[in-house]
Amino acid sequence: MTPDLWLLLIPLTPLLLVSALALPVVGRHLWRLTPLAVLPALAGALWLPEGAWAFYPWLLLGTELALDPVGRGFLLLTALLWGAAAVYAQGYLGADPSRVRFHAFFLLAMAGNLGLVVAADVVFFYTSFALMSLASMGLVVHEQHFESWRAGWVYLGMALVGEVALFTGLILLVHDAGGHGLVRVWEQPPGMAAVILLLGGLGVKAGLVPLHLWLPLAHPAAPTPASAVLSGAMIKAGLLGWMRLLPPGSVPEALGTVLVVLGLVGAGYGVLAGVFQHRVKTVLAYSSISQMGLMTAGLGVAMMHPALAPALISALVLYALHHGIAKAALFLGVGIAQRVGRTAALAWLLLPGLALAGMPLTSGAVAKTLLKAPMYDAPVDLSLVTLLLSTAAAGTFLLMLRFWVLAAGGSREPRPVPVSLWLPCLALVLGTVVLPWVLAPEDAFKALAVEPALALLWPMGLGLLIGGIALLLARFRGWTLPRWIPEGDLWVPLERGGQGVLGWVSRTPGFWHMPGGGFTLALVHGVPRLWAAWLDRVARGERMLLRWETLGLLFIGLVLSMLVAVYLGAVMVMS
């Protein structure tokens, strides 16, 4: 198969399957084939030749698809997670009355996610990004509870704002570059406005603090297989977009500083807010915010010191793979944990949780070591950043402890776990151990040395210490975790505040006595009244206008006066 066809098939296969769902008789059974839709992508990630590139002059505004090393890593991640989630969905949603609809949106979002990984021009990237964002709305609101609708609206609103910011940023880029191919866009350093718009537009997807508000609401609201891809694969689209559109070296170094600060804040805040959660999936969502913060900080360092960029970028790709697989394994594991006994549940969730915290021998250890290694070689002292990264790892371990406690507790109803549930989960759990040895065996070996292992272990020890004390307090003193931070943290005060301010303003007569209050009052009450009066007058005017006699006379009069005016004008011109 030529790379031309192959690259196109990567996003096209899920779309073809979606259209096949509409077939008359067989269509409603074809959702069973969903896992197969990732096969071209998976095969492409493994076997497409290095530097594969294709140009489709007929598609959109002229589309380029390509696979570079960064793209290969993300493609592998995307294909693995969507494939695993698709298999899982067979069992999880097999009896759902709306399963065909779920799979239709699932496939659309999958096509978008795969497409944006192989996109090599900004229009196709934007198209895929939009497809993914909008189609995942169908996954978030799938269950149609009040909670999922609320999460869905917050998600959709923020996604759309991100979308238009991205659109504006992209046309600024394209206008400066004079072309929409990525290679062409890279030739021109992006302007300040474009940088800000792209930072925000993609930041919504990447859960960049403070644009993360939708994430802890939406990720838990979706059905479990959808949560896994939302939190494991789709969240990475923001990171990939930054790498593609704001390549280190051509962006101002100040942007790097901003990303490092926001990333580290996010890493810390994700832990802080996550620990106070009381639902398993929400803890995982906050953990995603925290982990994305670490990756964002890594990318920020690359932007600050472009010389470190190659090493950091490849480390970030591995980190993204590691986090995606571990997080998806956790989400899928949560679905299994509810069906098995306490010990079995912990067994399912232990390994990916440890990997996330950076346990030696797991993918987390390799990814964290690789990410920190270039920072020790930096021309300036980055020990503060590396220290904070390590501290964040302690936080991650704490978060995982909280997660395990929640996942093991609570009521459970033992049910059989079908093979379609445990097989993909097992594959991902094993992936957290096997993957580094397959992808980067040398680095995996290096991460076993004493020094990096110590650097990984002390944060875990710290996390264990704090978590252990908390557990002991809970057990022997009966302390429970206060509900200080609600799900969706800042969104909740915003939502209440919005309603509160409106209510307060309307309820407080005193408000109107303050200076300028009269004017505001007049404005608030007067303008609608004026508007209504004006509409009334227009309507009355129209009624009069509508009488045939008026209409006819007006028409004739107007024509006559026009002619007279024209005649006079012409006479004046001639004289």
Partner 1 sequence: MATGGYMLLLILLSSLLPGVAIFFLREQQFALRTALNLGGATLKFLLIIALLVGVYRDGKTYSLSVNLLPGIDLVLAADALSLLFATLSAVLWLVTTIYAIGYLEDSPNRSRFFGFFSLCVSATVGIAFSGNLITLLIFYEILTLATWPLVVHRGTAESFRAGRIYLAYTLLGGAVLLGAVVWLTLLAGSEPFTAGGYLHHLSADQGPVLIMIFAMLMAGFGVKAALLPLHSWLPRAMVAPAPVSALLHAVAVVKAGAFGIVRVLNDVYGVELAADLGVTLPLLLLAIMTIVYGSVRAVFADDLKQRLAFSTVSQVSYIILGVALAGPIGAVGGLVHLVHQGVMKITLFFCAGNFAETLGIHRVDEMRGVGRRMPWTMTAFTLAALGMIGIPPLAGFISKWYLGLGALEAGLAWVTVVLVVSSLLNALYFLPPILRGWFSRREGPWPDERHGGGRLETHWMLLLPTMAVAAMALGMGLLASLTISPLYWVTFIVEFEYGYDHIWRAIFEWETP
d(C-alpha 214, C-alpha 113), whole Å: 19
Among 454, 469, 472, 563, binds partner 1 (CB under 8 A): 563
Smallest separation (angstroms) from partner 1 to the CB of 432? 35
Contact 353, 397 (CB under 8 A): no
- Phi (first) and psi of residue 53, to 5 degrees: -150, 140
Q: Give the nearer residue to partner 1 in terms of CB position, either 449 or 560.
A: 560
d(C-alpha 280, C-alpha 348), whole Å: 14
- Phi (first) and psi of residue 251, to 5 degrees: -100, 155
Smallest separation (angstroms) from partner 1 to the CB of 407? 29
Contact 200, 162 (CB under 8 A): yes
Contact 7, 66 (CB under 8 A): yes
H-type alpha helices, 230-279: 236-245, 253-275
d(C-alpha 491, C-alpha 285), whole Å: 15
Under the criterion CB under 8 A, does residue 470 sit at the interface with partner 1? no
Q: Give the nearer residue to partner 1 in terms of CB position, either 438 or 574.
A: 574
Under the criterion CB under 8 A, does residue 178 sit at the interface with partner 1? yes
Under the criterion CB under 8 A, does residue 7 sit at the interface with partner 1? no
d(C-alpha 386, C-alpha 372), whole Å: 6
Under the criterion CB under 8 A, does residue 562 sit at the interface with partner 1? yes
Smallest separation (angstroms) from partner 1 to the CB of 116? 12
Contact segment (CB under 8 A) with partner 1 among 42-50, 165-173, 463-471, 515-523 equals 165-173
d(C-alpha 213, C-alpha 220), whole Å: 13
In Å, how far are 275, 278, 480, 499 from 484, measured between CA atoms? 10, 11, 12, 21
Smallest separation (angstroms) from partner 1 to the CB of 181? 5
Site size for partner 1, by CB under 8 A? Answer: 56
Q: Give the nearer residue to partner 1 in terms of CB position, either 148 or 290.
A: 148
Please tell me whether the peptide bond between 210 and the residue prior to it is cis, using omega within 30 degrees of 0.
Answer: yes
Contact segment (CB under 8 A) with partner 1 among 135-143, 384-392, 393-401, 405-413 equals 135-143
* Residue type (1 letter), 171: I
Under the criterion CB under 8 A, does residue 473 sit at the interface with partner 1? no
Smallest separation (angstroms) from partner 1 to the CB of 549? 12
Smallest separation (angstroms) from partner 1 to the CB of 58? 5
d(C-alpha 512, C-alpha 518), whole Å: 6
Give CA angle at 233 (230, 236), nearest 5°.
105
Give the per-residue contact string, 84-123, with partner 1 (x = CB under 8 A; - = no): -----------------x-------------------x-x
Give the per-residue contact string, 37-76, with partner 1 (x = CB under 8 A; - = no): ------------------x-xxxxxx-x------------
Please give the residues from 273 up to 312 whose contact with partner 1 meets the rule CB under 8 A.
none
Cα pseudo-dihedral 139, 143, 147, 151, rounded to 10 = 10
Helices 236-245/192-206 angle, 10° precision: 160
- Phi (first) and psi of residue 411, to 5 degrees: -80, 145
Under the criterion CB under 8 A, does residue 505 sit at the interface with partner 1? no
Contact 533, 539 (CB under 8 A): no
Q: Give the nearer residue to partner 1 in terms of CB position, either 132 or 330.
A: 132
Among 49, 476, 546, 575, binds partner 1 (CB under 8 A): 546
Smallest separation (angstroms) from partner 1 to the CB of 95? 18
Residues lying near partner 1 in the complex (CB under 8 A) are found at 22, 55, 57-62, 64, 101, 121, 123, 126-127, 130-131, 134, 137-138, 141-142, 144, 152, 156, 160-161, 163-164, 167-168, 171-172, 174-175, 178-181, 184, 193, 538, 542, 545-546, 551, 554-555, 558-559, 562-563, 565-566, 569-570, 573
